[in-house]
């Protein structure tokens, strides 16, 4: 057992829903309509984070500048990739990356993401940079920079007029929720019309931000901006609207269980431990560790199998169809999806292997 797995075994986190939210469930909806509420709880105490590190710009007298000017002067095509080199790291960051190859030799790269991050996540590992360079198209779960459905997204997060959490949640759960909101300086009046699954994912984000994590450094957003910088086509496995419709339509019993589980983790002061476990597994490129953490986290929590089926596994058939269409296209695609979608016996990697595709982790 690796030292990381030993750490996980001795200090298991206890909320599988928190794992799903960080690296599986469509948490990106908050980037469209919910993060402003969370930010209110941090106020002026949170300094503005540094920008995600990017390759240094060429100086006026550098060889790179001269080469760039030469390309502009002679047959320069601005639609081609501007990548010129691979940036190196001083550590052993590996991340979660697989190469999937069809019998015809067509390739798709599968990259496991975490939806929150830190500047230290960048530059990405060499293997990931090379895969991105080789790929003709980049695919994400949903383009969170697309605000065309913002108004509809906000509606889906809330109950219809006249319905609030006061009439939906058991009194004991409502009391616990109000306590945690008060601790984070979030007004219950501002949240009372929001659905439980939304609040269950929103509250932990406050704690992530206090630990130095931020959704603006999440891998999904970085890849979207990367595709735009490199002028590569950006595709979506799903959409923000479709993801939030799924969450909004979640049965009441599951929404209540999701919120209850999230509050339990917070009450047991397990948030930092859980996020650290997720990041350790991702950084070391260890899918077994990530799956172990999820299995341990299920202990003592409510309706975990039903929640996993609803939030993760039920989405895999449609994802699989799209990935297979990419493999049949003859173009290399870089597909980024929440890490929990890739691991375990019901994950996308296992499902593709069952279909006969050659798969290796890079």
What is the per-residue pLDDT across 263-272, written as a single tens digit (0 to 9) for each?
998 898 888 8
Three-state DSSP class for residue 101? strand
In the sheet where 234-236 sits, what is the strand order?
Answer: 234-236, 137-140, 333-338, 107-113, 96-101, 358-361
Neighbouring C-beta atoms of residue 50, cutoff 10 Å: 9
Tokens of 138: 């980049």
What confidence score (pLDDT) does residue 83 get?
53
Residue 49 lies in a domain: no
Cα distances (angstroms) measured from residue 185 to each of 41, 56, 206, 258: 5, 40, 10, 22
Count of structural domains within the chain = 1
Residue 55 lies in a domain: no
Residue 195 lies in a domain: yes
Residue 4 lies in a domain: no
Nearest to 244 by CA among 118, 97, 142: 142
Residue 150 lies in a domain: yes
Residue 267 lies in a domain: yes
What confidence score (pLDDT) does residue 311 get?
92
Low-confidence ranges of the chain (pLDDT < 70): 1-85
User: Which residues fall within 8 angstroms of residue 259, CB to CB, at 6 or more apart?
Assistant: 169, 173, 177, 196, 197, 199, 200
What is the Rg, in whole angstroms, of the alpha carbon atoms belonging to the chain?
A: 21
What confidence score (pLDDT) does residue 206 get?
81
What confidence score (pLDDT) does residue 25 get?
53
Distance CA 156, CA 168 (A): 16
Distance CA 262, CA 16 (A): 9
Distance CA 326, CA 60 (A): 41
Residue 1 lies in a domain: no
What confidence score (pLDDT) does residue 110 get?
98
Give the structural domain span for 344. 16-42+93-361
* Positive or negative: CA dihedral 62, 66, 72, 78: negative
What confidence score (pLDDT) does residue 192 get?
95
Residue 57 lies in a domain: no
Query: Considering the entire predicted model, what is its pTM?
Result: 0.80
**348 and 111 Cβ atoms separated by less than 8 Å:** no
What confidence score (pLDDT) does residue 275 get?
84
């Amino acid at each position: 057992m690796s030292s990381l797995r030993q750490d996980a075994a001795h200090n298991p986190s206890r909320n599988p829903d928190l794992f799903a939210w960080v690296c599986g469930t469509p948490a990106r909806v908050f980037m469209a309509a919910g993060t402003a509420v969370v930010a209110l709880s941090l106020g002026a105490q949170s300094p503005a984070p540094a920008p995600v590190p990017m390759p240094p710009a060429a100086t006026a007298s550098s060889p790179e500048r001269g080469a760039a000017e030469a390309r502009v002067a002679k047959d320069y095509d601005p639609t081609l990739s501007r990548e010129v080199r691979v940036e190196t790291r001083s550590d052993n960051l590996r991340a979660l990356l697989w190469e999937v190859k069809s019998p015809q030799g067509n390739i798709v790269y599968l990259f496991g993401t975490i939806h929150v991050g830190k500047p230290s996540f960048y530059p990405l590992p060499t293997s990931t940079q090379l895969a991105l360079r080789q790929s003709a198209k980049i695919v994400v779960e949903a383009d969170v920079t697309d605000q065309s459905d913002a108004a509809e997204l906000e509606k889906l997060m809330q109950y219809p007029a006249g319905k609030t959490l006061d009439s939906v949640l058991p009194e004991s759960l409502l009391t616990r929720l109000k306590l945690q909101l008060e601790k984070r300086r979030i007004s219950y009046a501002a949240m009372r019309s929001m659905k439980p699954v939304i609040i269950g994912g929103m509250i932990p984000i406050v704690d992530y931000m206090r630990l130095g994590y931020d959704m603006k450094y999440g891998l999904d957003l970085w890849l979207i901006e990367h595709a735009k910088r490199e002028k590569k086509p950006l595709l979506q496995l799903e959409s923000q609207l479709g993801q939030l419709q799924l969450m909004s339509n979640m049965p009441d019993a599951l929404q209540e269980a999701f919120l209850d589980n999230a509050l339990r983790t917070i009450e047991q002061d397990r948030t930092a431990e859980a996020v650290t476990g997720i990041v350790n597994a991702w950084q070391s490129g260890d899918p077994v560790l990530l799956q172990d953490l999820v299995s341990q986290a299920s202990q003592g929590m409510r309706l975990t199998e039903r929640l996993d089926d609803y939030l993760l596994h039920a989405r895999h058939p449609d994802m699989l169809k799209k990935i297979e269409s990419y493999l049949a296209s003859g173009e290399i695609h870089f597909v980024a999806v929440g890490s929990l979608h890739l691991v375990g016996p019901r994950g996308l990697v296992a499902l593709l292997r069952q279909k006969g595709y050659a798969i290796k982790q890079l």
